[in-house]
Structure 1
Amino acid sequence: MNVNFQFSDVIGGVYKNGNVKFLPDGTSVLSPIGNKLKMFMLKENLSRTLAVESEANITRIALNRSGTHAFVVNETGACFYINVTNEILLHRTHIGRGNSIRCAEFSPDGSSIALCTGGEVKLYSLGSIAAGQFHPTVQFGHRRLSSDSINCLQWAFDGRVLCCGGEDRVIRVFSSKKQFANMSCATMSQRYPLVATYFFGNGYDVLAVDRSGAVVCWEASLKPQELISRTKDHINGLVEPALNYQKVKRNNLMEHAGSSGVFLTASALNAKSKLLSVAFSNGVFLLCELTEFSVLQNFRASELRINTLDINDTGDWLAIGCGQGFDAQLIVWEWQSESYVLKQQSHSQTITSVAYSPDASLLVTGAEDGKVKIWNFHNSFCIVTFTEHNSGVTDVCFTQSGKAILSASLEGSVRAHDLKRYRNFRTMVAPKQTQLNCLYKTLRLWNVVDSSSMEPVQLMNEGLDVKYSPCGHIVAVLCYDSCISLFQADTATEIGTIETRSDIDAGRETRDKVKKSTSERNKTFTCIAFSPDSLLILAGGQSNTFCLYSVPDRLLLKIFKLSANVSLDGVLLDVDYRKFTEFGNVDLFDCSDSEDENARVDKKLKLPGTRHTDLSERSVKPSIRVNKMEFSPTGRNFAVVSTEGVSIYTLDARRRFNPFNLETEITPSLVFSRLRNSEYGNALGLALRLNEKPIIRTVVESVPVHQIKFVIKSLEIIYAEKLLKWLAALDESVLSKHLHFYQILIHELLYCYGADLKNNLQQNLPAIISIQQTLNNQTRMLSKLTNKNKNSIEYILAVRELRDANTNGS
C-alpha cells in the first residue's frame, strides 16, 4: 500500500496578487497564486505549480533575461532566490520590513539585483564561484534616495546606470557603483507619483509614466561612452559636463481611459517593438506606439482594476493581471488579432465542493458564489462555467456515464448540466421547502427502489459527513466529536471506529483568546473521503492538517500539512501575546496609512457575520480550513478543497518537467562507448537527450530481445514519453523490417508506463494513436500478403491432390 502522496498542483487558482512575468520564450507566463508560483505554458496548453513555497503571499517577481532564475518577494519582506528550471530554492534572506519591497529587478547580465525598500535602493550581487563569491547574495550598494516609497526601478542596457521613481514624484538616475566622475544623481520632477520609469533607445534617455496618465520623455545630455570613470584625481566635485536631463516630449493618455475618476495603475514597455502599454483602475488598457504615442488599441479587459502588465519579447502578447484575491483574473491578449490567448478566473468566493469525472480527466467545483466550474485535470484550465444557481453551491457530482453533472445549492434546488451542449437541462426541487441536516444523531440507510429505510442507527453526536465505500460494503459516518464510525452496509451494524480528535493540530487564530489545547477542543474534522479500493480514508476540517487512515487497521498512516502561508489565519500553532490588548488582537485593526485602498492585502471585516460578503472596517485574514476531499477514480491522486483552492496530491513523482538540456560531455561518441560496453539503458537515455533519430535507432535496434524489458524499466517517465514520441514518428519502412522487435518494445513500454502515460493522456494520446495507426497499417498489409499466400498454397495443394487423383485413377 503506497501512501507517499505529494503535493502536485493547485487547480482553481490563476492569479492572486503581485506582478506576472513572461518568460524569455514569449509563450510562458509566471503568475503568483498566494504563496506559490504557477507557470502557464500557452503554446503547449499546459500549466503547473512550481515546487517552491513561500511563507506568505508573494507580492513581487523578478526574472533574469535567460528565464532560469527568479527572485521572489513576499508580504513579510522575505526574499527567495529560485532556480526556475529545476524548481529549487537556492537561497532565502530577509531584507525588507513587512510589505516594503515594491520593486525588484535583475541586471541585464543577471549577476546583480536591485531592490527598492521604502525610499532606499539596495544592490546585491548574486553568488558566483567563478567570481570568488560563495554567499548567494552580497550587498555592494546602498542608496538612500527618498523619504517616501520608491515604486519602480529599471536598469540601463549596460547595467551601469539605474533609474527609479516613487511617491515623491521625482525621477532619479544614478550609477550602480558610483564609478563615474561626471555623474552623481540626476533628478527630474513629475506632477504625480510615478508608476514606471524606463530606459529606452541606445543611451540613457528616460521614459516616465505617472499616476495621472502622463507619459514624459527625458533626453540625456551625455551618451554612454561620454561617461568618465572615477579615479583618485576625481575625489572632489563633478567633472564637467555632468549628466543631466531635458524634457523633450509629453503626452497625456488619461483622455483614453473612458471615464473620470480613474488613475493609471500599471505599465509595460517593449523596447524592441517600441510598444508601450498602460492600464487604468477601471479595467481599460492602451497599447501605444512609442515614438509618436499614437494609440494602437484601446480595450476594456475587465471590470476589475488592472494591477500588472507585461509584454513578451516579440511584442505580440500582453499579460494582464486584474483584481486581487478571489476576484483576480489572468488574461493573455494578442493585440494584432484582438483575441484572447488565455482568459482564466477562479471562483469569486470560497470553493466548497469538488468531484472527479469517471475517467479522471475533468474536475468540477462549486463555490459560495453560486457558480459551478469544470476544469481540465491535466492542464488546470477552466473549460466552462455554469451560473444558474442563485445561492452558494454545497455539493457537486458526476453521473456514472460522465456525460452530466449534478449540483446542489442553498436555494433548495438540484440542477443537472449537460457536458455535451453545456446547458442546464433539468432542475429538481423539493415539493415543499425543507432543511436537510442531521440534528437527531441518527443514521438511516434507504432503499432507493422502494423508498424504504432500515432501522435508524443511533449516533453518539451529530453527523457531519457520511460516505459509502466504493466496494459498497462499508458506510463511514464522521461525527461532531471527530470520531469516524464504520458500519456494515447490509446490516447497519457497527464494525469499528477511528478516533481522530488527537490528530487535529489546530492552529491559533487572531480572534482566539484561549490556549491552543482549549482551542483544539472546539475544532473538528468536517469531511471524509474513501479511496477507490476502500482501504484508505481521508479526514479533514477546521485545521491546517488533514489525515490519511487505514480502514482495515483503524490506524493513522500519514498527516499532511495543507499550507505554510502565514498570510492565512490558523496556520501558526501559537500567537504573539504581545499583540493582545484590551480591545482585541492588534492584527484585527487596520493600522495602515496607505492611501491606496486597493493595494492593501489584508481584507477588512465590516460587521460580525459578514466575513464572506461585505468586507470593510476591521482587517482580517482568511482562515485556513478543508471544505471537501475527493479521491481520483484511479487512486493515484486526490483533491483537497481548502481556502487556497483545490490542491492536488499525487503518488507520481514530480518528474514531468525535465528539459532535454545537453551537457558538454554528452556526445555521440559517449553514446556508442556505452553501447559497446553493453550499457543499453544508459546509452538509450543519452541518445534520447541528444535527440538524433539515427543515433536513437542504432541504440534501440542494438538492444537484445531478452533485455528489452529491463532496458525499458530503467528509463524515467520523461524518457519513456520521448521514446514513445520517437516510435510514433518512425518511418513505416523501418518498422516493417523489424516488426516483431518493435511490437515487443511497444508492448513493454505500454505495460511498464501505462498508468503514467494515462495521467498525461492529452499529451501522449497523439503518439499512441499514431503508433496504433502504424501497426494497423502493417497488420492490413501483412493480412493481405498472408491471405494471398494462403490462397496460393491452398491452390497449389488442391492442384497437387487433383494431379495425384488423376495419376492414381489412370
Structure 2
Amino acid sequence: MNFRFQNLLGAPYRGGNVVISNNSLLISPIGNRISITDLIKNETITLPCESSSNIARIAVSPDGNFLLCVDDNSRCLFIDLRRRVILHRMSFKKPVSAIKFSHDGGLIAIGVGKLLQIWRSPGFRKEFFPFELVRTFADCDGAVSALDWSPDSKYVLAGSKDLTVRLFCLKKISKVDNKPFLFLGHRDFIVGVFFSVDKKSGRVSEVYTVSRDNAIFTWDYTPEEVLNPPSPGTPEQISSSEVIENGDGKKRKNFDGEDGNVGDSALHRGKWKLAKKDFFMQPSTKLSSCDYHQSLGLVAVGFSNGVFGLYQMPDFVCKHSVSISREKITTVVFNERGNWLSFGCAKLGQLLVWEWMSENYIMKQQGHYYDVNCLAYSPDSQLLATGADDNKIKVWTAASGFCFVTFSEHTHTVTALHFISGNNCLLSASLDGTVRAWDMLRYRNFRIFTTPAPRQFVSLAADPSGDIICAGTLDYFEICVWSMKTGRLLEMLSGHEGPVHGLMFSPTNAILASSSWDKTVRLWDVFEGKGVVETFPHKSDVLTVVYRPDGKQIASSTLDGQINFWDPIDGLLMYTIEGRRDISGGRLMTDRRSAANSSSGKCFTSLCYSADGSYILAGGRSKYICMYDVADQILLRRFQVTHNLSLDGVLDFLNSKRMTEAGPMDLIDDDDSDVEEGIDKQTRVNLGHDIPGSKPNNGRPIIRTQCLRISPTGRSWAAATTEGVLVYSIDESFVFDPTDLDMDVTPEAVNVALSENQHQRALLLSLRLNKDSLIKGCIVSVKPVDIQAVASSIPLRYLQRLFEAFADLLESSPHLEFILRWCQEICKAHGHSIQQNSRNLLPALRSLQKTITRLHQDLADTCSSNEYLLRYLCSTGIKN
C-alpha cells in the first residue's frame, strides 16, 4: 500500500529550455514534470512535483539548490531540488517567455508578456507573500524573448519581439537616465542577449545580440570615466577617488551613492557603439536557440534545420558546424566549464549532450515518439522493456532510469513484450506480422517468428520453460504456436470469434489462457494437443486475462467494467468486482455528457497481480489506476496518473468559459501561432488496436493506461500511460509498522541488549520494533560464530522482514561474505517453513535474489576485466 512515485521513463522532451546545474546535472522539462539527469553517474530521476500543465520555462539558482519553473498556464513553482519538494506557488497574469536568476541568486528576472518584472528570491523564513516584486519595466512593445544579467546583478538585458534590445538599470536613477538604452538594427525578433566581460578588468566590455534571421551584433562599451575624465582637483575627481577601508577590502562610491566593489561601472552612462554585424550562413533557415559562455567567449547556436554551430567571439570564427537532426533545435545550453553542450529537439523528443573538444556524445536519450503500449520486467527486476507506437523497443535500467539499447527492426506498432526467464531473451509482438526474439547479451534479433499469411499480433505469451511461444491475432482471431528452438510454426489454435487481446501461460502447468472480444476466456492444453480444455463465458467483451502467481486463480476484465475471478481447476466463477465507478472520471473535450453520466471507456484494459497474489492492479482509459484486495473485493487505493491539464480527460468538469461557437477552445488550431511545436501538438493516429468504440480526439492526447506490470520482487510496479512509463516503488524509510509491541520494546532496550552482548534478544526486539536502522545494526553486531545459533531462534513471522534487511545490506555493506553466511544459516534452519510459506515470502526472496545476482555480475565483470593482470600476478608469484 505504500507505493510512491519514483521515476518517469520513456516520456519525450516536449519543448521548453533545459539547464545544466553544478556542471553535470541536466535539468529538463518532461510534460508537466522535471527530469534530472546526472551526466557522470548516468542516472535519471524525475521529481515527484507536478505542474498544472506542460512546463514551458525553467531556471535554476546559481548554487543549484532551487528551481523555478513556469507552465503553459503561467503558473509558477519554486522547488527545493535537494528535498524535492515545492516551497512556493504563484501565478502570473500573462504568459512567461523568459526567466533567469541573477548571478548572486538574490533576484529573478521574468519576462511576463511585454513586461519585465524583477522579483526577490523567496527566503527560508515563513512568509505570507514569499515572492516580492521589486520593479516592473513596461518599456517593451513586444513580448520579452531573451534575458541576461550583468555580473554585478545591477543591470538586465532584455530582448523582445519588437526587434529591439533594452538595457535596464535596477536602481532608481535620475529622470534623465531613467529610460533604458536601446540596441537597434535587428530585422527579426531577438533570440538571445549576452553580456561579455573583459578578463583583465572584470568589467562589461561588450554585448552580443542574436536575432532569428541568423544575425549576431557586437556592441562595444566605453565607460563614462574614459569618455569624460574629471579634471584634477575638482570635487568630481576627489569623490571618484574616495575609497573606504574595511576588513573585506577596498571599496568606493559608485554611481548611485552606494558602496560597491572596485570595478563596478555605470553601464547606462557610458557609450554603446555597434562594432560589427555578423551573419550565420544558413540559407532558408531560422535561428531557433543560442547560448553564450563568458569565460571561453563561445557562442552556440541552433537552427530550424537541425544544424548547430559553435563560434569564437568576438572574431566570429566557426569552430564546429554539425547537423544532428532534420528538425528544429529548440534549446542550446553550455555547462559551467564550457566543455559540454546540451541540445534539445522537441519534435523528435530528443536530448543530446555533446563534448565539442573531443566531438563525442556524453548522452543521447530519446523517449518514445508516441504512446507506450506495452512493457515487461526482467526476471531479476533490473531491466524494464517498453514498446510503443513508434515501432521501437527500448530497454531501461530500472535503478538508474537510463535507456541503454533501442531495437527498431519492427515496421509497425509494438503491441506486446515478454521476458523469458533464465536465458536472457526478450520477445516482442507487433502489428507488422512478426514476433521477434532478442538476445539481451549481444543486443541482436536472433529469431523471427512468422506465419504463412500475414497477421497482426496483439498479445504474447511463453511457457515457463521458454520452449513454446504463443501470439494472439487481431484479424484472424487465432493463436499461433511456435517452437523457440527451431522457430517453426507448430499449430494454429482456432475457436475464438474475435480479436485475442489476452494471453498468459499458467505458472504451474502448461495450460494457456486466452481472452477475446467474443465474450469468452478459453483454456488450452498446448503440449497434449487437446485444444480447448475449458471455456468461461462472460456477459461482455473480454479485454484481458491474467493468472495469479500460484496458478490457482484467473482474473479477467470486461467491457462493462467488471473484473471476474475464476477457479481454473473447477471452472467456477469465484467472485466479481464492479469497477465502473472506481475507474470513472475525466471528461473529454468532445464528450456531450459529463464524466458521471458517460458510460464510454469505463473499463479495465490491463490487469496485474501482486507477487503474493493478495491484491490486483487495474488500469484502463481513465486517469485512475485502481488497487483491489482480491480476498475481500474492496478498493484499497486509487492512483491518479497525472494532473496535467494539457491532456484530455484529466478534469471531471470542463470550464464553460473556454467553450466557443466553433467548439472547445483547446481543439481549435491556431495556424498563426508561433508557439514551439512539440509532441503533444502533433496529430495522433488511431491505429485500431484500442478497445471497441474508441475514437480519436482531434489530435488531442487522451490520458489512459495501456499496460500494468508489477516487478517480480514486488517492490515496484510500472504503468505505461500517455505521459510515459510511471514507476512506483515502496520507500520503507518513511514507514514505521511495528509488530507485537509492549512497554519493554524500545530502542533503548535494544541498545542495552547490545551492550550486554545479548545479540539474540536485541535482534528480536528490533524486529518487533520494525525499525530499519536498528535491525541492520543488530545483524551486523552478531559475531560470525554465533550466526547459526541466532538464526535458528528467529520466529517465522519475522523472516520476511529479515530477508528484506539482507537485500538492503548487500547493496550498501562491504561485508558480503558475512551477509551471505546469514542467508545460508537462515535457509538451513527454516528451509521447510520457507517452502511452506513461499507465497508470502516470495517478494522478499526475489528482492534478495535480485541483489545477489547483480553483485555476482559486478564481481564477474571486475574479474574478467582484470583477467590478464591476475594471470600476470599469478605467474610472477610462481616464479618467485
TM-score per shorter chain, which class?
0.7 to 0.9
* Partner of residue 441, structure 1: 519
How far does residue 450 in structure 1 lie from its aligned partner after superposition?
2.2
Is the 8 Å Cα contact of residues 178 and 184 (structure 1) preserved in structure 2? no
Deviation at 1:529, TM superposition (A): 1.0
2:627 aligned with 1:548, yes or no? yes
CA distance in 2, matches of 1:68, 1:223: 38
1:318-367 superposed Cα distances (whole Å, 9 cap, x missing partner): 1111124xx31010101111111100111111110000111111111111
Q: Partner letter of residue 521 of structure 2?
A: L
Greater displacement, 215-224 / 357-366 = 215-224
2:313 aligned residue: 290
Q: Which amino acid aligns with 1:215?
A: I
SS at match of 1:298: strand
Residue 323 of structure 2 corresponds to which residue in structure 1?
300
Say which SS state the counterpart of residue 486 (structure 1) adopts.
Answer: strand
- 1:246-261 to structure 2, matched below 5 A, reads 246-253=273-280, 255=281, 257=282, 260-261=283-284
Partner of 1:155: 149
Q: Which residue of 1 aligns with 2:301?
A: 278
Q: Distance in 1 between matches of 2:715 and 2:166?
A: 56
Corresponding residue to 1:478 among 536, 539, 557: 557
Given the alignment, which residue of 169, 173, 183 partners 1:175? 169
Which of 376, 380, 390 pairs up with 1:369?
390
Which residue of 1 is the match for residue 100 of structure 2? Answer: 105
- Provide closer, same or farther for how the CA distance between residues 541 and 29 of structure 1 changes in structure 2, counting only shifts above 3 A: same
Displacement of 1:439: 3.5
Letter in 2 for 1:473: K
Aligned partners of 2:442 and 2:810: how far apart in 1? 36
Match in the other structure for 1:781 = none
In structure 2, the residue matched to 1:210 is 211
Q: 1:128 to 1:356 in 2, by over 3 A?
A: closer
Q: Does the alignment pair 1:603 with 2:597? A: no
- 8 A Cα contact 1:566 1:572, kept in partner: yes
Q: Which residue of 1 is the match for residue 403 of structure 2?
A: 382
Counterpart of 2:10, as a letter, is G
| Cα drift, residue 700 of structure 1 | 12
Between the aligned partners of 1:428 and 1:704, the Cα distance in structure 2 is 55
Aligned residue number for residue 197 of structure 1: 193
Give the direction of change, closer, same or farther, for the CA distance of 1:138–1:463 in structure 2 (3 Å limit): same
Kindly state the Cα deviation for residue 211 of structure 1 after the two structures are TM-superposed: 0.9
> Which TM-score applies when normalising by structure 2?
0.72
Aligned to 1:783: none
Moved more, 529-538 or 65-74: 529-538
Amino acid in the other structure paired with 1:101: V
2:9 is aligned to: 11
Q: For the structure 1 residues 561 and 760, does the alpha-carbon distance in structure 2 shift closer, same or farther, using more than 3 Å as the test? A: farther
**In structure 2, which of residues 98, 116, 130 is the aligned counterpart of residue 121 of structure 1?**
116
Q: Secondary structure at the match of 1:168?
A: coil
1:780 aligned partner: none
User: How many residues in Structure 1 have an aligned counterpart in Structure 2?
Assistant: 698
Q: Report the Cα distance in structure 1 between the residues aligned to 2:685 and 2:38, rounded to whole angstroms.
A: 42
Paired with 2:114 and 2:313, the residues of 1 have a C-alpha distance of 29
For residues 477-536 of structure 1, give each alpha carbon's deviation from its aligned partner in whole angstroms, at most 9, with x where no partner exists.
111111111111223222221211121232011111112222245532211111122222
In 1, Cα distance between equivalents of 2:551 and 2:407 = 32
Displacement, 1:725? 5.9
Kept after mapping to 2: 8 A contact 1:441/1:459: yes
Deviation at 1:435, TM superposition (A): 2.8
Alpha-carbon distance change, 601 to 218 in structure 1, aligned in 2, over 3 angstroms: farther
The Cα shift of 1:229 comes to 0.8
Q: What stretches of structure 2 of length at least 5 have no aligned partner?
A: 226-251, 259-265, 456-474, 478-498, 500-515, 691-695, 735-750, 758-776, 795-800, 827-840, 865-880
User: Which segment is superposed worse, 395-404 or 426-435?
Assistant: 426-435
What's the offset of the Cα at 1:221? 2.9
Residues 724 and 767 in structure 1, CA contact (< 8 A), matched pair in contact too: no
| Aligned counterpart, 1:424 | 445
Q: 1:353 to 1:402 in 2, by over 3 A?
A: farther
> In 2, Cα distance between the equivalents of 1:466 and 1:428?
23
> Secondary structure of 2:15's match?
coil
How has the CA–CA distance of structure 1 residues 610 and 192 changed in structure 2, closer, same or farther, with 3 Å as cutoff?
Answer: farther
Structure 1: state its 5+ residue gaps: 232-238, 656-673, 681-698, 729-738, 774-810
1:317 aligns with 2:311: no
Relative to structure 1, the CA distance from residue 22 to residue 527 in structure 2 (aligned partners, 3 Å threshold; closer, same or farther) is same
Alignment partners' CA distance in 2, 1:577 and 1:486? 42
Preserved contact between residue 306 and residue 321 of structure 1 (Cα < 8 Å)? yes
Distance 1:373 1:430 in 2: 25
Deviations 1:178-213 (A, max 9, x none): 247756411011222110001111333311111122
State the one-letter code of the partner of 1:34.
Answer: G
- What CA distance in whole angstroms lies between the structure 1 residues aligned with 2:9 and 2:650? 21
Q: 2: distance between equivalents of 1:473 and 1:177?
A: 76
Q: 1:740 to 1:346 in 2, by over 3 A?
A: closer
What's the CA shift for 1:244? Answer: 3.8
2:768 is aligned to none
Match of 1:799 in 2: none
Provide Cα deviations, 1:149-206, integer angstroms capped at 9, x if missing partner.
Answer: 1100011000001101011111100112324775641101122211000111133331
Whole-Å separation in 2 of the counterparts to 1:456 and 1:536 = 25
SS of the residue corresponding to residue 597 of structure 2 reads: helix
* Counterpart residue type for residue 115 of structure 1: I
Contact 1:371 1:389 in 2 (8 A): yes
Deviation at 1:701, TM superposition (A): 14
Asked if structure 1 preserves the Cα contact closer than 8 Å seen for 2:560 and 2:602, the reply is no
Letter in 2 for 1:252: F
Superposed displacement of residue 316, structure 1: 1.0
Please state how far the C-alpha of 1:468 moved relative to its aligned partner.
1.6
2:641 is equivalent to residue 576 of structure 1: no
Partner of 2:507: none
Q: Which residue of structure 2 lines up, in the alignment, with residue 638 of structure 1?
A: 717
* Residues in 1 aligned to 2:639 and 2:555: alpha-carbon distance in whole angstroms: 21
Q: What's the offset of the Cα at 1:592?
A: 6.8
Distance 1:499 1:252 in 2: 66
- Report Cα offsets for 1:643-679 as digits up to 9, x if no partner: 0110001112588xxxxxxxxxxxxxxxxxx99x989
- 1:34 and 2:13 aligned: no
Q: Counterparts of 1:630 and 1:621 in 2: how far apart (Å)? A: 26
Q: Give secondary structure in 2 for the equivalent of 1:53.
A: coil
Residue 435 and residue 518 in structure 1: after superposition, are their counterparts in 2 closer, same or farther (change >3 A)? farther
1:357 aligns with 2:378: yes
Matches within 5 A, 1:738-749: none
Moved more, 390-399 or 435-444: 435-444
Q: What letter is aligned with 1:435?
A: Y
- Whole-Å separation in 2 of the counterparts to 1:111 and 1:527: 50
Cα distance change, pair 604–91 in 1 and its aligned pair in 2 (3 A): same
Match of 1:567 in 2: 646
In structure 2, the CA distance between the partners of 1:761 and 1:563, relative to structure 1 (3 Å rule), is farther
